[in-house]
Structure 1
Amino acid sequence: MADTLLLRALKGEPKLLNLSNKKLDKVPKIIGKLCTVLQVQLKNNKLKDLPKEFGSLVQLEILNIGNNELDSLPQALQHLINLTVLHAFNNRIKELSPVVISNLRQLVLLNLNSNQLTFLPTEICRLTSLQNLSLDNNLLEELPFEICALTKLKELHLANNRLTSLPLEFGYLINLEKLYLQKNRLRELPESLGKCFKLSTLDVAANELRIFPTELAKLPLRELYCEANPLLQNLPVHSVQEEEVLTLKEMCARQVMHELKDRWSYTRKSIEHYPELKEMLSQSSKCGVCGNAFLNTWLECVKFVDSKEIGMVKTLSGRIPVRTLLCSYKCFNEPGHDLYGVAFP
């Protein structure tokens, strides 16, 4: 049947080839002759691979190989340099070929939902045009930090995996608008999430979160879903304040960052000659009370924020625990703030 359809197609110059729902266990090699085709639909078959001739379809822009029996992305795909949309959902894919991934640089959408992926190759960073990446219902336990190089990414779907954390560099995804992380094993979200200034939808339901990042309230969130998490509750417990003992490194860092506030200071001019020091200080935090910068986390507190006060219109009502970092117990003991110390069992 497939051979007949392909022979008919060869008589013209088709832009679309639909071989979905044909019970195919292989694609005829003659498909490589359809050099004008822009879209191929092969979903809902029994394919385990694609012939090498498939790589001749160099003008192909859209490919759907969803709901087949593929163990990996076919090697023939590495030649499809104009491919912008690839659906490979509901297969048996266990890993992604670095060679294939490295050559699909025009991909805008990649759908790998419902496979058996346990990790992503570092070459994922080569997909520099990617705007929508969907990896729901896989077996991912971690993400490579290279995924944070996908700066054009707008939607990232990672629901129902086994993630316990996200890369610290997550804030580099500056165009991210929608992030779906429900049904994972996340214990915390990276502080850099606050740098995703376009994030409007965040779904972290059914994880193991107790507190949200410091700058959550600064994000333009319209939807936040966080049910079924063991979020911190405002329950008073007795605590003992420890004596403050700062390291020499911390004291020096605080002094340097204080002098950097003066635009005419000698320190501000000199630091340009010490890129490693500049990079280290860029990782500093700002005290939630006095506003001064410090290098290492000294005191972790929590502020309970009403979700309605930060612009969320499609979310569960109630108060959300947001992390706030302080530079000292002196600031913690200052009157007038609504911060609480964090006590973990």
Structure 2
Amino acid sequence: MSHFKRAGNVDSLAGFRTPKPEAAVPYGLLKAARKSGQLNLSGRGLTEVPQNVYRLNIDDPAEAQENVSFRGSDRWWEQTDLTKLLLSSNQLTQLSEDIKLLPALTILDLFLQLHDNQLSSLPSALGELQELQQLRLSHNKLSSLPTEVCSLNNLRSLTLQQNLLETVPEEIGELGNLTELDLSNNLLKHLPSSVGRLSALRKISLCHNKLSSLPDGLGQLANVKLLDCSHNQLTDVPVSLAGMLALQQLYLQHNKLRRLPQLPAPALREVFAGNNQVELLEAEQLSCLSAVTLLELRDNKIRNLPEELALLLTLTRLDLSNNDISTLPASLSLLPNLKVLLLEGNPLRGIRRELLAKGTSDLLKYLRGRIKEEAEGAAGPTAMTLPSEGLVNTHNIKTLKMLEYIDKQAASVPDEVFDAAAHQAITSVNFSRNQLTAFPPRLLELHSSLSDINLGFNRLSCCSADICSLQKLTHIDLRNNQLTDLPSEMKNLSKLRCIVLNHNRFSSFPEALYQIVTLETVMLGNNQVGGVDPSRLMQLLSLSTLDLSNNDLLNVPPELGLCTSLRCLSLEGNPFRTPRAAIVAKGTNAVLEYLRSRIPT
């Protein structure tokens, strides 16, 4: 008898058996998908979708052949139809027609996160997924879109950026519920007129194509808020686009435009028309921009600025860099909300370089002085001068509805200033460059009309909750103070679109700002912010500009790349190692794409 006992369950030939190949999709993942209705196969190196994925809700699972348990977790017959399938970051070359075996899908995600897929065509069976709501096919090699996709009546989002599309089927106009269409970074030379039938569209991106014209039908898209046609070959913009009544952001950079489009779109807030061939700004075009807050015209061939620019009363940022402007009209100083005026790269005469280097505020002050000199020279000492030599500028109060008390180095605002504004519907207040340590309480007297307030360059160490009584505020400028936090009551400012907090002492992103869903611009540069919560930023659906430059960010969360509404993200001057400076220098799109590529799958 042997002195050694044989172990009970040891397979003596185990070392000689060929191991079973590991399944492309682990059985446990499929089992969980039957319960949750969601299956994430991103980043698994798949070259094709396994057949057991397509047949997930058709074939009986292995549990069906075993002893049946009545525990809640093992009731295999209570499976849920697959409604979400994520296939990003793989090496797929094709999809099988068997995709039709998953009719309950609401999201089919083929969006690149880490590595390109290789899809060059799509199966016609996609047209049978009538519950599909989001179809993401970016970063592939598609040269055409099957017409069957255009029969998906419930489709809300169709993203096809970074493909090889040369045409779009005319049938695309049948997607009546589509709210987002992204055709950027393709080879499109024209768009079908049927795009004008996509009446539910809110966002359409056509940038980085070869479009030389836009169809007149685009003007029928009355719900579109963002239209991006940058980096194309457009020589003109059809006047029919005036019918886009909800349009807020228009991107036309890097085209061949010779004039600004004449678009009386009442909601238009931001126009980007840099890097074109615009030579002349005409009064007719400018009169259509009555609600614009940002006008970007850099890198054009503009020589003269018309006096009509002074009619853009809502303008806060005007970029005229790298043009052929030699003189500035003094009337620019009458723009009540202008905060940033960029003029670098122009052959300006009569304005010293040192003055330009001092910034917008000093330049506008100089131009206001020129108005005063011209008025005195033309009408003699008895004429009213602009700005007023008195304590209060009555011209600005009555004509521009603007109350100013600037650069007085005063610790408080005199009552005479507020008394002069009595019974006037003041919309803008500028008390910047003083020594204010507290919020002027008499500002509350202007609550019924005040929409813009500038308290920058003061000594405020806290922001009074009283500011939240000004329910019509759309712009707040609190730069260059000593603020460390904002009152929680600010979340009640339901119309606030822009807040400037540069050069303060914030160590974290102000909690109240996460809750103001109307915000479009947040400027937090030159503070000590150590981090942001991207999941909460994603809830700010209108946020297009976020300045976090020169802060203390040690890392940038990859999920920040999912804030797809961002058009301008400034991260320069932070101590993080990634993304590298070379990526940051490429601009917002490159940074966001890099961050998305770092999201764990």
Do the structures match in fold with TM over 0.5? yes
- 2:321 pairs, out of 227, 232, 237, with 227
| d(CA) in 2 for partners of 1:28, 1:76 | 17
* Alignment match, 1:273: none
| d(CA) in 1 for partners of 2:196, 2:339 | 40
Q: Residues 175 and 197 of structure 1 are in contact (CA less than 8 Å); yes or no, is this contact kept in structure 2?
A: no
Q: Pairwise mapping of residues 185-204 of structure 1 onto structure 2 (< 5 A)?
A: 185-192=277-284, 193-204=286-297
| d(CA) in 2 for partners of 1:130, 1:94 | 22
Shift of the alpha carbon at 1:137?
0.4
Q: Residues 102 and 129 of structure 2 are in contact (CA less than 8 Å); yes or no, is this contact kept in structure 1?
A: no
Shift of the alpha carbon at 1:12?
5.5
* Alignment match, 1:305: 332
Letter of the aligned partner of 1:102 in structure 2? G
Alignment partner of 1:154 is 2:248: yes
Q: Residues 94 and 115 of structure 1 are in contact (CA less than 8 Å); yes or no, is this contact kept in structure 2?
A: yes
Shift of the alpha carbon at 1:211?
2.8
Alignment partner of 1:76 is 2:171: yes
Question: How has the CA–CA distance of structure 1 residues 70 and 122 changed in structure 2, closer, same or farther, with 3 Å as cutoff?
Answer: same
- 2:340 pairs, out of 295, 314, 333, with 314
Shift of the alpha carbon at 1:35?
0.3
Shift of the alpha carbon at 1:4?
5.7
- 1:101 pairs, out of 175, 180, 195, with 195
- 1:122 pairs, out of 216, 232, 242, with 216
* Alignment match, 1:63: 158
The normalised TM-score by structure 1 is 0.68
Aligned length: 257
- 2:122 pairs, out of 27, 37, 52, with 27
The RMSD of aligned alpha carbons is 2.6
Alignment partner of 1:183 is 2:183: no
* Alignment match, 2:102: 11
The normalised TM-score by structure 2 is 0.40
* Alignment match, 1:287: none
Residues 119-161 of structure 1: CA deviation (Å, up to 9, x unaligned): 1122221222211100110011111111122121100000011
- Determine helix, strand or coil for the equivalent of 2:271: strand
* Alignment match, 2:300: 207
- Determine helix, strand or coil for the equivalent of 1:188: coil
- 1:166 pairs, out of 253, 257, 260, with 260
Question: How has the CA–CA distance of structure 1 residues 304 and 40 changed in structure 2, closer, same or farther, with 3 Å as cutoff?
Answer: same
Identity, in percent, stands at 26
Shift of the alpha carbon at 1:203?
0.6
Alignment partner of 1:50 is 2:76: no
Q: Pairwise mapping of residues 330-345 of structure 1 onto structure 2 (< 5 A)?
A: 334-335=378-379
* Alignment match, 1:327: none
| d(CA) in 2 for partners of 1:118, 1:58 | 30
| d(CA) in 1 for partners of 2:338, 2:148 | 51
Q: Residues 194 and 214 of structure 1 are in contact (CA less than 8 Å); yes or no, is this contact kept in structure 2?
A: no
Q: Residues 54 and 76 of structure 1 are in contact (CA less than 8 Å); yes or no, is this contact kept in structure 2?
A: no
Question: How has the CA–CA distance of structure 1 residues 56 and 49 changed in structure 2, closer, same or farther, with 3 Å as cutoff?
Answer: same
* Alignment match, 1:145: 239
Question: How has the CA–CA distance of structure 1 residues 49 and 190 changed in structure 2, closer, same or farther, with 3 Å as cutoff?
Answer: same
- Determine helix, strand or coil for the equivalent of 2:307: coil
- Determine helix, strand or coil for the equivalent of 2:332: strand
- Give the number of the structure whose alpha-carbon radius of gyration is greater: 2
Q: Residues 100 and 125 of structure 2 are in contact (CA less than 8 Å); yes or no, is this contact kept in structure 1?
A: no
- Determine helix, strand or coil for the equivalent of 1:310: coil
* Alignment match, 1:252: none
Letter of the aligned partner of 1:311 in structure 2? N
Shift of the alpha carbon at 1:312?
2.1
| d(CA) in 1 for partners of 2:230, 2:129 | 33
- Determine helix, strand or coil for the equivalent of 1:101: helix
Give structure 1 stretches of 5+ with no counterpart. Answer: 235-301, 323-330, 339-345
Q: Residues 138 and 161 of structure 2 are in contact (CA less than 8 Å); yes or no, is this contact kept in structure 1?
A: yes
Letter of the aligned partner of 1:191 in structure 2? A
Shift of the alpha carbon at 1:198?
2.0
Give structure 2 stretches of 5+ with no counterpart. Answer: 1-47, 50-93, 343-358, 368-374, 387-601
Shift of the alpha carbon at 1:194?
3.2
